[in-house]
Structure 1
Amino acid sequence: MELVVSDGAVRCRWRQAGNAARVEPGHAGVDLSAVLEDFKPREFDGIVLCTGSVDAEWPNDLELLSLVFARTRRRWAGQAWQRVPRRLVPLGLAAAVLTAMVTAWPLLLEPAPAPASSSRPTIEEARARVQRALATTAGGRLVASIERRTIHVTGMAEDAREAMASRAALNAHRGPYPAVPRFTVATDIAEAIRGTSGLTNASVRHVGDGVFDVVADVTDERAARAALDRMGADLAPTVKRITARLERIYPSDPLGPVLSRSQQDGLTVVQTRDGVKHLVIQSPRAVAPPPVSVSAAAPRSRPVRSPAQVTATATSPKGLTP
């Protein structure tokens, strides 16, 4: 390689070696020459040359080297493509097509992606679905709400069939979120009121919106209403109010309808259905004296009467004292 500087220009001369397989005997290569332009580097067998004026501002070394190696890579790629035998091109294309088919075959066998509507819903969307289903099964008597990332259902179902259908709708539409049924059943509450009130011929019916109507026969209307009020307070807020239509019975019998009776050692305890307990104390009969002999003279005395039965009745202030 030879560098010649003249008239402000730099000329480079070098010998380009040809292909060893094609060089004929007696030919060592080809002489080439070129003018090196300012700030346009060139590579010669791994050596990078760049010329320019001393007074001018030189670019960054990285910028100069990037120009050289970028051109080098493109040049090498072109030379490599030229060296590929023409008969290998069809084989390469066939191999590329075969590789693409093998790669794409599993993708063709995969099922189609699910539509966007079947993706995971939000908890608010799940609650809305549950509410729409409950409107069909319970007629709007049950309400779905969200509490701590859990769907809760509150309200009052009319009977066991409606409660079962509402639970099935909740499990079918809750999605991936937990759900808790907190609603009650009106028929169960009515049966609890009827069984624990102790009223005679009691009939309990759910009017609606947590209001229950009671029809019964009682001996003490005031005590019965007080008992129903206490029961309504115990069942709140599920039971909002208990209305009663009571009819007074047994006006001449202080014991009224007997709920239970027990007797031991002369003490009888009777409990009526209105919650009043009656205590009856009975004294034992006196033993009669032995008979007097006819032969002996009986002393003159008053005739002995058989002792009468002595009873006492005690009731609470709410009951009636005979």
Structure 2
Amino acid sequence: MKLLRVLTGVHAGAQLKLAPGEYRLAADDDADIRLSDWVGAELRLTVDSQDVVHAKRPPPLPTENGAPSHHGAGEHQHVEPDAPAMTHSVADVTLDPTAAGDNQGTEQILLVDFVPMQFDDTVICVGPADSTWPSDVELLSTLLVKPDQDKREAKRARHRKIASVTLVCMAVGMAIGLGALLMPIQDSRAARRHDINDLAQHINRLLADQKLTELHAQVSGSVIRVTGMVSTATQDANARDLLQHTAAGVALRQYDIADVDARNIAESLGIAGVHVAYAGDGIFDVTANVKDPQQFRSALERIRHDLNANVKTLRTHITAIDKNSLPSTYSEMIVSDAIQYAQAPDGTKHIYIAEQPEDQTGMPASGVQPDSMTGPLASTLEACAEDFNNLPQAITDTSKVEMIRSALDATAKRVAEEVGETEVDRDSLAKLYRGLLAASRIVAQLHEKRNAG
């Protein structure tokens, strides 16, 4: 099956599949293929069983001045009288001799696939319906009339010859001129190279005089790079002044400050208990007292890639801390009977119950076991004892200080009231009462510290 595509005019871009048969293309309403802007005589398209397309068009009618009323394919173009014959990029028009006998005065044109044909102001093209078509611009570009190729080629050859001679002359002149110019430039570069090497050596001597022995100046192209390490910001200021007065604009500061690097390494690790110190010659000692050494090693390996060449080595000293062990030193401690409260240097608070001697945990002075008590007082004592035993774990949550304090005060008052009404085991009740008051005081101290902080 063939595909007909309109490339120009009002219907540009329109396409129609053509089955084998004959089609009349014109502007009237009875046409098989109607193009409203079609001018001139109608065009009959014939598609045979081999998908070969022919176009037939009646001969042009003469006008009053003897010129035809319409033009065939490509005949509307203007031709100069003395100009050579123009050639189209489309296929030559083929006349069917057999059809000429049957249709006297009717021209028959063979339409070649993907070769556009122009009929007056309209350009059409045929091709296989199932193939990939070129764009309309590519198809229309083949209709452009080419100039005389021989004449253009001769003209181009002359231009190329003249251009070649000109380029050769220019190249010879430029070679001579560049040779004359490069000789003093090379001498100047050699002298400059010698001067910049001397300047680098001079900077190294000045750095040594300033006790900045870990800084090194070396030539890199047309600049001097100063690398290494200074210990403090004071040494950095001294090095800046030296380079500014000696080689301003030539010396590039690419060294590190040890204090800054040590702080950056510690902050990048982000692990408590890590201390970084500079040991000299680009070596940093990293001391770590951590609970998870593997986590520390992973973090250290991660930041190694972010360090530049001025940091040569990271020496690690790792000490694993037992997660369940208590701190060995305290900044503050409060002791009250059975309850002990301690604060470690890192701010951690520890509250626990100290072990009591056996003579304090035996039989009460009254000889009455607490378990043998009955009545409301026994229930109160059991509740107070349970609160007292759970007190260390509860106090560690400072957000509940006020609630615990109020509960302890209420319990202490209730115990005091019942002790005054009942004659039972006053020693045990008094000891419990003192413990509750001590716990209340500790809670009050925690409350004051929290408000002060």
Q: Shorter-chain TM-score: what band?
A: 0.3 to 0.5
The TM-score normalised by the length of structure 2 is 0.28
Q: Which structure: greater helix fraction?
A: 2
| Rg comparison, structure with higher value | 1
Q: Which structure: greater strand fraction?
A: 1
The TM-score normalised by the length of structure 1 is 0.38
